[in-house]
Amino acid sequence: MQGPTITRSAVSGTIAWAASWLAAVLYVAPNGWVGARDLAPMTLWSAPFAVVLSLAAALSVASARGRSVLWLYGSALLLGPALGFGCFALAAMVRGGWVVAFPVFSCWAYGGFLGLLYAATTTRSAKSIGAAVGLLLLASLALVWTHSALRRLG
């Protein structure tokens, strides 16, 4: 079982990295591409986040045996954004409080949730796919709402 867990966790990290970058693009695109020059650093700073999320996915998958779907998705909902915040806080400390020109925390929170959502979904039967799709849509709507609210504030 080692191989599938490692593969699943690597895919989870890749999904977190890609979803975080996509969330950043979705923030700068409607903003007249203001901050687009920070997409390259976002790619670089998201790599350690993806590694951390891969490790969390491996632990999540390893502890999933016998857990309910609600527990798996609930832990993804709480742990993904928490890891996003932790990585944001570390990056802000390293960079002196400024990471990039857009809200990297919301990008990493979204990516973290989607990465762990993938891990949770692939540990259960196909019956839980509908719930995962519903959570994905809700998370995407929350991201759009957060980005529009931040644009109005800033």
Q: So what's the pLDDT on residue 126?
A: 41
Quote the pLDDT of residue 54: 94
Looking at this protein, which amino acid is placed at residue 28?
A: V
Helices (H) and strands (E) in the chain, counts: 5, 0
Alpha-carbon span 110 to 139, nearest angstrom = 7
The pLDDT of residue 120 is 83
Range with lowest mean pLDDT among 14-28, 52-66, 75-89? 52-66
The set of long-range contacts for 59-62, using a CB threshold of 8 Å and a minimum separation of 24, is 60/116, 60/119, 60/120, 60/123, 61/5, 61/8, 61/9, 61/119, 61/122, 61/123, 62/5
- Looking up tokens 């976002």 gives 42
The pLDDT tens digits for 88-121 are 899 888 887 677 778 888 899 999 998 998 888 8
Q: How many CB atoms neighbour CB 6 within 10 A?
A: 14
Q: Alpha-carbon distance 126 to 30, whole Å?
A: 36
CB of 99 closer than 8 Å to CB of 91: yes
Distances (CA, A) of 129 to 40, 98, 123: 33, 38, 11
**Gap between the Cα atoms of 20 and 99, Å rounded:** 14
Q: For residue 10, what pLDDT is reported?
A: 92
What's the pLDDT at 75?
87
Nearest Cα residue to 78 out of 43, 51, 44, 112 = 112
